């Protein structure tokens, strides 16, 4: 029989499940049971448990010990983990840190941060879990005070603030995380953290995501409202597109429901229902964001399904709200019918785009029928000088040929 292999994520999940099983199945000490282990005894017992070679048995033994952890004996367990740090899997740090933080959060966080930095991922796992447990107890009050004493450029600051935010989301207090997110630079790291917060809220209900985004002040620092609204649109378009579109329309006249949000909606919508996506776009109020999105939608549709896109666009490009789609359509027509592409190119409204696509269409036509293009240039003396020069240069047209 072939041996079945397990991926690292599967192993991590198994280990965590075993620890949780041990933690929840072991009974807390009652009055007629032996008293809790003291610090030295806990250190000794944890150290012995960490030596167990069978992963399952080791986790069950440690789970039983952590079930009886107290503020007094937790430091002993910490000493055992620190002494065996390089033999401990990073995922093994989380149950221990969580157990300690549940009885003495301040001490657990302090311990985690004081682990040797060479502990790498093990240290980060301990910090992450202890901060999350701490945050759940006091809605992040302690972690926020603690953050004030850390260097904002340090890795410790990043780990603590990230897990404070996630801990607040897990605890159902996302609004408490808003000032923390607003304090971060608007980069991909913050964007990912916002999305993680939303995923935690989504475990309950997507409406919780909407409620949090709606609660963010419009003047929140570092464009937090814009980013959060856009990320919420990305999530919404994957789980309930019609609800997301309706929510967008409720906010369409705000400053934060602009280019980023429309582009995100469009990316998801065009892939599934391109004609409906364009119909939705053109009913939005006129704006540069809408114009850019119409052009992008036309380009994407022509690229992915040209047989469907071309007749639809041809029939609708006379509409004022569709005018920005003429440029991608003219580019598309160069491959289909370069003579007709020239006429479409002349209708492109933006001068530099018009010059670009008209030059391209004329050159392609000229390589196939040079005399016809020379005749066209003679019949259209009004053509812009840059276009004229680009075409005559690439086709090597001599002045006497135009006389």
Q: For residue 204, give Cα distances in angstroms to 42, 334, 387.
A: 38, 51, 59
**pLDDT level of residue 28 (50, 70, 90 thresholds):** very low
Interval 106-122 mean pLDDT = 84
Q: Is residue 166 within 8 Å of residue 140, measured between CB atoms?
A: no
Can you tell me the distance from the alpha carbon of 181 to that of 326, in angstroms, rounded to the nearest whole number? 41
Average pLDDT of every residue of the chain: 87
What are the extents of the domains in the chain?
Answer: 13-23+38-134, 139-236, 337-403
13: tokens are 């999940």
Q: Which of 31-45, 196-210, 250-264, 360-374 has the lowest mean pLDDT?
A: 31-45
**pLDDT level of residue 33 (50, 70, 90 thresholds):** low
Neighbouring C-beta atoms of residue 24, cutoff 10 Å? 9
pLDDT value for 24: 43
Highest mean pLDDT out of 7-16, 305-314, 394-403: 305-314
Can you tell me the distance from the alpha carbon of 178 to that of 181, in angstroms, rounded to the nearest whole number? 5
For 191-213, letters b (16+ CB in 10 Å) and e give: bebbeebbebbbeeebebbbebb
DSSP state letters, 17-67: HHHHHHHHHSPPP-TTSPPPP-HHHHHHHHHHHTT-SSHHHHHHHHHHHHT
Q: Is residue 246 within 8 Å of residue 282, measured between CB atoms?
A: no
pLDDT value for 10: 44
pLDDT value for 239: 87
173: tokens are 């207090």
Can you tell me the distance from the alpha carbon of 163 to that of 123, in angstroms, rounded to the nearest whole number? 14
* Residue 371 exposure: Cα atoms within 13 Å on the Cβ side: 0
Which tens digits make up the pLDDT trace of 288-344? 888 998 999 999 999 989 999 999 999 999 999 999 999 999 999 999 999 999 999
pLDDT value for 333: 96
Distance from CA of residue 60 to its chain's centroid? 36
pLDDT over 90 percentage in the chain: 59
Can you tell me the distance from the alpha carbon of 150 to that of 122, in angstroms, rounded to the nearest whole number? 20
Interval 11-22 mean pLDDT = 46
pLDDT value for 4: 41
Q: Give the residue carrying structure tokens 């690229």.
A: 303
Q: Is residue 256 within 8 Å of residue 289, measured between CB atoms?
A: no
For 109-122, letters b (16+ CB in 10 Å) and e give: bebbbebeeebeeb
Model confidence, pTM: 0.72
């Amino acid at each position: 029989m072939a041996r079945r292999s397990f991926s690292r994520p599967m192993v991590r999940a198994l280990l965590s499940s075993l620890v949780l099983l041990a933690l929840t199945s072991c009974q807390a000490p009652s009055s007629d049971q032996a008293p809790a282990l003291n610090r030295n005894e806990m250190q000794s017992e944890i150290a012995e448990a960490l030596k167990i070679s069978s992963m399952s048995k080791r986790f069950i033994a440690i789970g039983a010990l952590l079930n009886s952890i107290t503020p007094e004996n937790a430091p002993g367990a910490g000493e055992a983990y620190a002494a065996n740090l390089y033999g401990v899997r990073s995922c093994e740090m989380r149950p221990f840190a969580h157990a300690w933080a549940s009885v003495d959060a301040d001490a657990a966080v302090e311990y985690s941060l004081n682990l040797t930095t060479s502990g790498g991922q093990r240290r980060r796992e301990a910090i992450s879990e202890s901060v999350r447990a701490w945050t759940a107890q006091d809605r992040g009050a302690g972690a926020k005070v603690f953050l004030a004493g850390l260097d904002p450029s340090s890795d410790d600051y990043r780990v603590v603030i990230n897990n404070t935010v996630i801990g607040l989301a897990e605890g159902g207090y996302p609004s408490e995380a808003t000032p923390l997110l607003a304090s971060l630079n608007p980069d991909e790291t913050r964007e990912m953290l916002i999305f993680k917060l939303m995923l935690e809220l989504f475990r309950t209900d997507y409406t919780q995501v909407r409620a949090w985004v709606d609660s963010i002040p419009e003047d929140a620092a570092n464009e937090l409202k814009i980013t959060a609204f856009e990320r919420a649109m990305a999530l919404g378009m994957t789980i309930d597109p019609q609800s997301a579109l309706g929510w967008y329309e409720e906010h369409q006249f705000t400053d934060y429901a602009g280019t980023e949000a429309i582009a995100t909606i469009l990316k998801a919508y065009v892939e599934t229902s391109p004609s409906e996506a364009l119909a939705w776009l053109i009913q939005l109020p006129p704006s540069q964001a809408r114009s850019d999105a119409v052009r992008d939608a036309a380009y994407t549709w022509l690229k992915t399904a040209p047989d469907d896109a071309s007749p639809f666009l041809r029939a609708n490009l006379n509409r004022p709200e569709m005018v920005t789609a003429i440029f991608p359509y003219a580019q598309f027509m160069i491959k289909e019918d370069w003579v007709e592409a020239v006429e479409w190119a002349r209708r492109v409204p933006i001068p530099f785009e018009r010059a670009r696509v008209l030059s391209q269409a004329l050159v392609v036509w000229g390589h196939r029928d040079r005399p016809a293009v020379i005749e066209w240039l003679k019949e259209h003396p009004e053509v812009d000088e840059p276009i004229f020069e680009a075409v005559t240069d690439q086709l090597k047209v001599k002045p006497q040929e135009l006389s």
